[in-house]
Amino acid sequence: MEKTSLSRSESALADCQSQPDSRQIGIDKVGVRGLMYPIEVRDKRHATQDTVARFSLLVDLPKDFKGTHMSRFVEVLNAHGRLVHVESLPKMLHELQRKLQAQVAHIEVEFPYFMEKEAPVTKAKGLVDYQVKFDAAAHGKDVTFTVTVIVPVTTLCPCSKAISAYGAHNQRGYVTLALRSVRPIWIEDMIELIEESASSEIYSMLKRPDEKAVTERAYDNPVFVEDLVRNVAVRCNRHPEITWYKVEAENMESIHNHSAYAQIEKTVVEE
């Protein structure tokens, strides 16, 4: 009897989201953001890496509906257990479309990714963290996938080196590379592509001999912010798997109160 009573009570609850909306304006994206969840991603050296990600799950909303059902987004995510694999994202997108009667679905996943790096001289080991983002979208049956990495690097100013009697100013720069590819590209390979384009890569552990080596490497390889994005673009253009990319570089200038910025976006081949 209690189960029957509960069922009647539930059936009497108003469903405001499904009510019609008189304004007749569709919404491009609606859903939940900032949902923390454990995920497992592929690691080139260790097969897999466990991390914690911030999820956004979104769909389009037709003009006829007042709202969407927010709980269903969380249901789709929870249905995949304690660890969400990247390979499960297409299935999750189609589940969002089905459960929310949507034509378009989006899943955005942002997380820290860790790599162990050796110092150049002493080989001292330390972990460096990078920010990674997956953007998966389903338009009908078609699914697109974009991976983005944000990589800190060292840049040394060519002009400062050329005009100074001694020394040259350098700074930390941040390169953001987003790309789409025919087949998945390792996160580590994207990071390496960027680091090879800068004056020097950065490390978490450096002894004095290492610091000397990194400083001199940067001095021997000065790059403007324009050089930085062009260097990355050249490597992306040559990569056989990349179909589209956008590279942004921002140098946190050490002798100015502003940043230097540059961007290149290109479709390499038709997807």
For residue 11, the model assigns a pLDDT of 58
Q: Which of 9-18, 85-94, 153-162 has the lowest mean pLDDT?
A: 9-18
Written as six digits, the tokens of 153 are: 């690097």
For the chain, count helices (H), then strands (E): 7, 10
Summarize pLDDT for 126-146 with one digit per residue, the tens. 999 999 999 999 999 999 999
How high is the pLDDT of residue 260? 96
Q: Is 183 helix (H, G, I), strand (E, B) or coil?
A: coil
User: Can you give the pLDDT at residue 17?
Assistant: 61
pLDDT per residue over 25-51, tens digit each? 889 999 999 999 999 999 999 999 999
Lowest mean pLDDT among 16-30, 61-75, 82-96: 16-30
Question: Where do the DSSP E strands lie in the chain?
Answer: 27-43, 47-61, 84-85, 104-118, 125-139, 142-156, 170-181, 200-201, 242-252, 259-267
CATH level 3 topology of 23-267: Urate Oxidase (3.10.270)
Question: Band of the pLDDT at 66, cuts 50, 70, 90?
Answer: confident
**pLDDT given for residue 24 in this prediction:** 77
* Residue scoring higher pLDDT (24 or 91): 91
Mean pLDDT, residues 240-258 taken together: 95
- Kindly report which listed range (46-50, 66-70, 166-170) carries the lowest average pLDDT score: 66-70
Question: 104-118 and 47-61: which strand pairing?
Answer: antiparallel
Q: Which of 3-7, 46-50, 165-169 is predicted least confidently?
A: 3-7
Compute CA distances 91 → 21, 61, 105, 127, whole Å.
30, 20, 11, 33
Mean pLDDT (the chain, rounded) = 91
The arithmetic mean of pLDDT across residues 106-126, rounded, is 97
pLDDT of residue 269: 73
Per-residue pLDDT band for 2 (boundaries 50, 70, 90) equals very low
CA distances, 145 to each of 37, 93, 139, 204, 271 (Å): 20, 11, 12, 31, 12
